[in-house]
């Protein structure tokens, strides 16, 4: 047995076959039942010609089918590919082409977009559709998911696998085209999927995974599986012997999510920054009857900013819950955490306690001294590179003195106590008057204003300053905001040059389904507002 993602799953299945593994709506699957379904899907895909190294696209909303699809691919030594279900035809065509997708599992509501894109995808030859064909454009030759499972073998009779088998995670493409980050199975297991810790130390042999099981864990990823944060949490839960609770909703509905947390006795909730945390905590007090959330002991936020004001509201309202602000990236896995709890001081800056493999490097890729801004980097369990992109691979994953590093572009500073303050991605930083401003830092300050519901900060061209710091703000209902007031609020927390010099008010901030800000939309909105008399 190796640190292979399918092998590790099957070891847990054999240890606790009758324990509940997945819950979604009325479907409740034990580990043995989920494994049999994944085996059936794997056999069906194999009959379609999918084999070692082939890429299987998952064009799916959340459901057990998503996790079954990943497991089925791993069992065949194939590679699951995450697909953003919000993509239009051209974006979908680009990703499936870039990924060399050979097969695709998709929800029927996405059939029309897929059918429009498939003519220019000669490698894509196999189609499995979740749901019947009523009311949907048919994709010619597509098999219906449950029918395919019903006629395929549930037997686990696959060949030997390797810890070198690939896992690929496509980035969201917030500031550019999506890129496929390639990981070895062993590396992603330790970097992002739990790592099978025994106490404070990781396991050292694959067989030990059953020694770290926590059957009481009931994890609910509130964000889409098409982004790493959600399925990292799901697989971390499965590898720990817990239960993954899946919301069948396509959009965040705070009331329904709280009711689900209550009904399923969720212990571990995963969200994405303020876009999830703020509406959830503000809805909680309005619910009648109030949900019972006593079982909820950990809330983990990752992938986007969690502002101090929201952290304070959470720990005040839920004093029995640890609020963990996690930091990581598709190119690094999990790197650090900031934990807030009742009675503890709330960090006003994004400061994280990091793992031993994470540090900050200068432009020459050498460690910086405390107080110096550099690039956040990780060594150890890191990716192999970007699929089909050797140039970006060389830039992001350099080898220094024989050690491979992942340096995806986040700027950071080591503090005197060893914690790291993360300033933000360099690709969206703002150069104003020769000073560098990191949007996330300013966004966090703005969102502590009582009249601000959500905010994104970008730079727009400016003749005097080079770039002008511009705040795109969604006010709270009925609130009025003026630039001078908001800038003064920011200057009370930050250097004066970081305060916004322009304000654009919008009805709603545009974010990706995972909750990450869409900086391209925000910059376009800011430029349009600046050009309007």
Q: pLDDT by residue (tens digit) across 440-491?
A: 889 888 988 999 999 999 999 887 778 899 999 999 989 999 999 999 999 9
**Average confidence (pLDDT) over 389-405:** 93
Position 254 pLDDT exceeds 80: yes
Position 173 pLDDT exceeds 60: no
Are 61 and 196 members of one domain?
Answer: yes
**Average confidence (pLDDT) over 405-425:** 88
Identify whether 259 is part of a domain. Answer: no
Return the residue matching tokens 């994953």: 397
What CATH number does residue 140 fall under? 3.40.50.12780
Number of other residues whose CB lies within 10 A of the CB of residue 424: 23
Identify whether 437 is part of a domain. Answer: yes
Highest mean pLDDT among 90-94, 139-143, 162-166, 304-308: 162-166
Are 464 and 401 members of one domain?
Answer: no
pLDDT digits (tens, 9 = 90+) for 488-524: 999 988 888 899 999 999 999 988 766 778 888 998 9
Are 451 and 492 members of one domain?
Answer: yes
Ranking 43-47, 305-309, 525-529 by mean pLDDT, the lowest is 305-309
Are 474 and 386 members of one domain?
Answer: no
Are 383 and 512 members of one domain?
Answer: no
> What is the percent of the chain where pLDDT is above 70?
96
What CATH number does residue 412 fall under? 2.30.38.10
Position 171 pLDDT exceeds 90: no
Name the nearest CA neighbour of 173 among 411, 518, 454: 518
Distance (Å, whole) CA 124 – CA 96: 8
Higher pLDDT, 218 or 400: 218
Which residues pair with residue 183 across a beta bridge?
167
Identify whether 415 is part of a domain. Answer: yes
Res 137: pLDDT: 60
Are 377 and 356 members of one domain?
Answer: yes
Enclosing domain of residue 460: 429-531
> What is the percent of the chain where pLDDT is above 90?
69
The answer to whether 452 touches 513, Cβ cutoff 8 Å, is: no
Q: How confident is the model at residue 135 (pLDDT cuts 50, 70, 90)?
A: low
Are 392 and 459 members of one domain?
Answer: no
Listed residues 378, 409, 425: the one ending a domain = 425
Task: For residue 15, count CB atoms less than 10 angstroms from its CB and return exposed for 0-12, middle for 13-18, buried for 19 or more.
Answer: middle
Higher pLDDT, 230 or 197: 230
Runs of H (alpha helix) within 291-430 = 308-317, 390-396
The number of distinct structural domains making up the chain is: 3
Are 416 and 526 members of one domain?
Answer: no
Identify whether 519 is part of a domain. Answer: yes
Q: How confident is the model at residue 104 (pLDDT cuts 50, 70, 90)?
A: very high
CA 512, 316, 446, 504 dihedral sign is: positive
Are 66 and 180 members of one domain?
Answer: yes
Listed residues 145, 177, 201: the one ending a domain = 201
Highest mean pLDDT among 154-168, 300-314, 397-411, 482-496: 154-168
The answer to whether 182 touches 166, Cβ cutoff 8 Å, is: yes
Are 472 and 492 members of one domain?
Answer: yes
Identify whether 235 is part of a domain. Answer: no
Highest mean pLDDT among 52-66, 138-152, 417-431, 483-497: 52-66
Res 99: pLDDT: 97
Number of other residues whose CB lies within 10 A of the CB of residue 1: 14
What CATH number does residue 465 fall under? 3.30.300.30
Which residues pair with residue 461 across a beta bridge?
467
Position 346 pLDDT exceeds 90: no
Identify whether 214 is part of a domain. Answer: no
Q: What is the mean pLDDT of the chain?
A: 91
Name the nearest CA neighbour of 361 among 424, 417, 408, 394: 408
Instruction: Print the SS3 string covering 339-372.
Output: EECCCCCCCCCCEEEECCCEEEECCCCCECCCCC
Listed residues 166, 181, 201: the one ending a domain = 201
Name the nearest CA neighbour of 479 among 449, 501, 442: 449
Higher pLDDT, 342 or 268: 268
Identify whether 266 is part of a domain. Answer: no
Res 485: pLDDT: 94
Res 278: pLDDT: 87
Identify whether 251 is part of a domain. Answer: no
Res 426: pLDDT: 67
Are 523 and 413 members of one domain?
Answer: no
Q: Give the CA radius of gyration of the chain.
A: 23
Give the DSSP H or E segment for 124. none
E-strand spans in 88-161? 101-107, 126-130, 143-144
Indicate the angle between helix axes 5-15 and 64-76, nearest 10 degrees: 120
Position 133 pLDDT exceeds 70: no
Are 370 and 482 members of one domain?
Answer: no
**Average confidence (pLDDT) over 245-270:** 96
The answer to whether 165 touches 152, Cβ cutoff 8 Å, is: no
Res 484: pLDDT: 94
């Amino acid at each position: 047995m190796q640190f292979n993602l399918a092998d590790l799953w099957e070891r847990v299945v054999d240890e606790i076959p009758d324990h509940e593994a997945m819950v979604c709506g009325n479907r409740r699957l034990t580990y043995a039942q989920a494994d049999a379904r994944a085996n059936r899907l794997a056999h069906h895909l194999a009959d379609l010609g999918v084999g070692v190294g082939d890429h299987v696209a998952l064009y799916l909303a959340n459901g057990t089918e998503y996790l079954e699809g990943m497991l089925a691919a791993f069992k065949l030594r194939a590679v699951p590919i995450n697909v953003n279900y919000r993509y239009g035809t051209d974006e979908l065509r680009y990703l499936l082409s870039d990924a060399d997708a050979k097969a695709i599992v998709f929800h029927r509501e996405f059939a029309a977009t897929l059918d429009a894109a498939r003519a220019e995808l000669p490698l894509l030859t196999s189609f499995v559709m979740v749901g019947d064909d009523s009311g949907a454009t048919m994709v010619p030759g597509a098999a219906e998911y449950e029918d395919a499972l019903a006629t395929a073998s549930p037997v686990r009779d696959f060949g030997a696998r390797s810890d070198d088998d690939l896992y690929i995670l496509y980035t969201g493409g917030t500031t550019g085209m999506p890129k496929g980050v390639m990981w070895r199975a062993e590396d992603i297991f330790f970097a992002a999927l739990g790592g099978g810790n025994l106490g404070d130390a990781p396991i050292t042999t694959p067989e030990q995974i059953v020694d770290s099981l926590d059957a009481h864990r009931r994890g609910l990823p509130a964000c889409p599986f098409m982004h790493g944060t959600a399925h990292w949490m799901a697989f971390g839960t499965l590898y720990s012997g817990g239960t993954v609770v899946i919301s069948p909703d396509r959009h965040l509905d705070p009331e329904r999510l709280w009711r689900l947390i209550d009904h399923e006795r969720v212990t571990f909730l995963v969200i994405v920054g303020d876009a999830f945390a703020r509406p959830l905590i503000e809805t909680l007090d309005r619910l009648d009857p109030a949900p019972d959330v006593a079982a909820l002991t950990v809330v983990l936020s990752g992938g986007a900013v969690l502002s101090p004001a929201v952290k304070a509201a959470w720990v005040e309202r839920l004093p029995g819950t640890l609020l963990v602000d996690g930091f990581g990236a598709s190119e690094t896995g999990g790197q650090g955490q900031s934990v807030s709890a009742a009675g503890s001081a709330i960090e006003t800056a994004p400061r994280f306690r990091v793992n031993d493999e994470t540090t900050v490097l200068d432009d020459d890729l050498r460690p910086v001294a405390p107080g110096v801004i550099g690039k956040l980097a990780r060594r150890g369990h890191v990716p192999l590179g970007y699929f089909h992109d050797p140039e970006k691979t060389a830039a992001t994953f350099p080898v220094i003195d024989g050690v491979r590093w992942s340096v995806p572009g986040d700027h950071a500073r080591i503090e005197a106590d060893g914690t790291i303050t993360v300033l933000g991605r360099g690709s969206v930083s703002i150069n104003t008057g020769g000073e560098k401003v990191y949007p996330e830092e300013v966004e966090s300050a703005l969102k502590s204003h009582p009249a601000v519901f959500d905010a994104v900060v970008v730079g727009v061209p400016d003749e005097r300053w080079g770039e002008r710091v511009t705040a795109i703000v969604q006010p709270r209902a009925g609130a009025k905001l003026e630039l001078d007031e908001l800038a003064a609020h920011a200057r009370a927390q930050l250097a004066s040059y970081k305060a916004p010099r322009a304000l654009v008010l919008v009805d709603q901030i545009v974010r990706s389904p995972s909750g990450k800000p869409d900086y391209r939309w925000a910059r376009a909105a800011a430029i349009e507002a600046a050009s309007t008399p």
